[in-house]
Chains A and B, each alone.
Chain A
Amino acid sequence: MADELTAEQVADAMYKMVADAQGQKKLKPMDLQKSMIEYFGGDRCDKKLCKAAIKELIESGRCVYTYFGGSFIELPHEEGAAKG
């Protein structure tokens, strides 16, 4: 049987996905959740674990929420709009 997956492991995988997509595609929390369940398999990873992983990502400061018509998760970066 596969090892039990932790929220930190899912958060690490999510972080990699966000980092790879940065500057090319904005990802929503649901995009991350769907990808994680597909990647780790529905028997190991579920909605609850993904929620905990997103909380971990945000509260560790590794990622931030942004709003551009909808809410997204991105790496912290300098605010474009703030530059005038």
Chain B
Amino acid sequence: MSNTSGKTPKLDKLDKGPWPSFVKEIKRAAEKSPMSKDLLGQLELSYEEKIGHWKHGGIVGVFGYGGGVIGRYSDVPDKFPNVAHFHTMRVNMPSAWFYSTEALRKLCDIWEKHGSGLLNMHGSTGDIIFLGTVTDKLEPIFAELTEAGFDLGGSGSDVRTPSCCVGPARCEWACYDTLNLCYDLTMHYQDELHRPAFPYKFKFKCAGCPNDCVASVARADMSIIGTWKDGIQIDNGAVKEYADKGMNIQKDVCGNCPAKCMEWDGSTMAIDNSLCRRCMHCINVMPKALRPGKERGACIMIGSKAPIVEGALLSSVLVPFMKMEPPYEELKDLVEKMHDIWCEEGKNRERIGEFIQRVGLGNFLEAIEVEPSPYMVEHPRDNPYVFYEEYFEEGDEDEGEEEDE
């Protein structure tokens, strides 16, 4: 049964109840936009037939750029001519998603004028996602966006739009300026962002502390997570206040410390910082009494990804602590070495985490000239998966080395 009639009984079910619903929003847009109307029709057809009707990819883009536009076409254009082309545009969002209302209005005006009027704030990469336009409109949209001070983000085998948590703009726990680093990386890697030259995508995400509000540990090829080197700052008076107000410090704070490195004797809190895993639990529970240490920077982790070509990976520690101050030369040098070896040896559609798994972390570290360290772990207190040659004595080769090729 075709549903060009405009009736959408299946989608209507998703529209019921008090919750926000994408169907509700598409229906509202459909009152003004024929594109959104046909989108509803095609979606209903997909629900009926249990099959998607989109074809992705191809040649579309704006002049000079290899990313930022994702070609999308209907495979039933005769039934739904208004979504024969339904391209997505990724617009580079500002650091930590701060907008003026004027900027938001401008974005919406551009999109209502040239596209379906539907947008997604924000996609999993963090970008502003404009959903649905035709090839001829791409250049006019791009021109108006740049006029308004916006640029396209990344897509394809390139540096994806870097994203960051709100950091020091609103959060007292930020161990470095996430917004500044995010902006700096975005500007520094403009070429890599707009001209895809990698085996596959590469994502930077900057979190100000181990709470990792941008989920960088699960979603970034390079997760830059704020941390501290010295001890947690303790205000014993404030700890006592929490206790006096009824918090069970022993059970709820010390008892849940994964390192079991905290002690509370009723008046003094003691932390063995050499064992602390910087998990943020105690600081989250008693924000007025505990703070991250004063010697702050970031832990550089590498390799996470969602399951696309292969299974999901979480990032693991590459550099346990790095000062994170402009112009971020140490970080950029490291990134360049990583990109070089990955571009040289990586297979098509192989993320850097998969590449490291394939070649082995030891070989990867050697190529990027980073010394192995026991901190290079997948999880705290996990076995390091670094091959330590100095632990092998002469005659141990048979056990320790791989076969010669």
- Complex interface: chain B residues within 8 A of A71 (CB): 66-67, 156-158, 196-197
Contact indicator B156/A67 (Cβ below 8 Å): yes
Cα(A71)–Cα(B60), bound, Å: 12
Contact indicator B349/A79 (Cβ below 8 Å): no
Contact indicator A65/B65 (Cβ below 8 Å): yes
Which of A28, A65, A80 gathers most chain B CB within 10 Å? A65
Which of A54, A74, A84 gathers most chain B CB within 10 Å? A84
Q: Does B307 contact A (CB under 8 A)?
A: no
Digitize A33-65: 1 where CB-to-B-CB distance is under 8 Å, 0 elsewhere: 100000000000001000100110011010011
B interface majority secondary structure: loop
Contact indicator B348/A28 (Cβ below 8 Å): yes
Question: Which of B73, B158, B343, B349 makes the CB contact (< 8 A) with A82?
Answer: B73
Contact indicator A29/B196 (Cβ below 8 Å): yes
B40-73 CB contacts (< 8 Å) to partner A = 55-61, 63-67, 70-71, 73
Known: A69-B349, A79-B60. A55 touches B157 (CB 8 A): no
How many Å from the CB of A73 to the closest CB on chain B? 8
- Kindly report which residue of chain A lies nearest to residue B64, judged by CB atoms: A59
Contact indicator B57/A81 (Cβ below 8 Å): yes
Which of A47, A51, A70 gathers most chain B CB within 10 Å? A70
Q: Does B11 contact A (CB under 8 A)?
A: no
- Complex interface: chain B residues within 8 A of A64 (CB): 59, 61
Contact indicator A81/B195 (Cβ below 8 Å): no
- Complex interface: chain A residues within 8 A of B66 (CB): 58, 65, 67, 71
Q: Does B161 contact A (CB under 8 A)?
A: no
Known: A54-B195, A66-B59, A68-B58. A82 touches B156 (CB 8 A): no
- Kindly report which residue of chain B lies nearest to residue A26, judged by CB atoms: B348
Known: A59-B64, A69-B57. A84 touches B84 (CB 8 A): yes
Contact indicator B343/A30 (Cβ below 8 Å): yes
How many Å from the CB of A41 to the closest CB on chain B? 17
Q: Does B82 contact A (CB under 8 A)?
A: no
Contact indicator B135/A55 (Cβ below 8 Å): no
Q: Does A25 contact B (CB under 8 A)?
A: no
Known: A28-B157, A82-B58. A61 touches B63 (CB 8 A): yes
B172-222 CB contacts (< 8 Å) to partner A = 191, 195-200
Q: Does B296 contact A (CB under 8 A)?
A: no
Question: Which of A54, A68, A70 makes the CB contact (< 8 A) with B200?
Answer: A70
- Complex interface: chain A residues within 8 A of B67 (CB): 65, 71
Contact indicator B57/A68 (Cβ below 8 Å): yes
- Kindly report which residue of chain B lies nearest to residue A64, judged by CB atoms: B59
A interface majority secondary structure: mixed
Cα(A76)–Cα(B22), bound, Å: 36
| Chain B contact patch, size range | 35 or more
- Complex interface: chain A residues within 8 A of B157 (CB): 28, 70-71
How many Å from the CB of A28 to the closest CB on chain B? 7
Contact indicator B191/A67 (Cβ below 8 Å): no
How many Å from the CB of A42 to the closest CB on chain B? 13
- Complex interface: chain B residues within 8 A of A29 (CB): 195-197
How many Å from the CB of B344 to the closest CB on chain A? 8
Contact indicator A67/B57 (Cβ below 8 Å): yes
How many Å from the CB of A79 to the closest CB on chain B? 5
Contact indicator A84/B59 (Cβ below 8 Å): no
- Residues of A at the B interface (CB closer than 8 Å) are 28-30, 33, 47, 51, 54-55, 58-59, 61, 64-71, 74, 76-77, 79-82, 84
Beyond known contacts A59-B64, A66-B58, A79-B60: 17 more, CB 8 A cutoff: A28-B157, A30-B343, A47-B340, A51-B191, A51-B195, A58-B64, A59-B63, A65-B195, A67-B58, A68-B57, A70-B200, A74-B59, A82-B73, A82-B85, A84-B74, A84-B77, A84-B78
- Residues of B at the A interface (CB closer than 8 Å) are 55-61, 63-67, 70-71, 73-75, 77-78, 84-85, 135, 155-158, 191, 195-200, 340, 343-344, 348-349
A-B contact pairs, 22 of them (CB 8 A): A28-B199, A30-B343, A30-B344, A33-B197, A54-B195, A58-B66, A65-B65, A65-B66, A65-B156, A65-B196, A66-B59, A67-B57, A67-B66, A71-B157, A74-B59, A76-B59, A77-B59, A79-B59, A79-B60, A79-B71, A84-B73, A84-B77
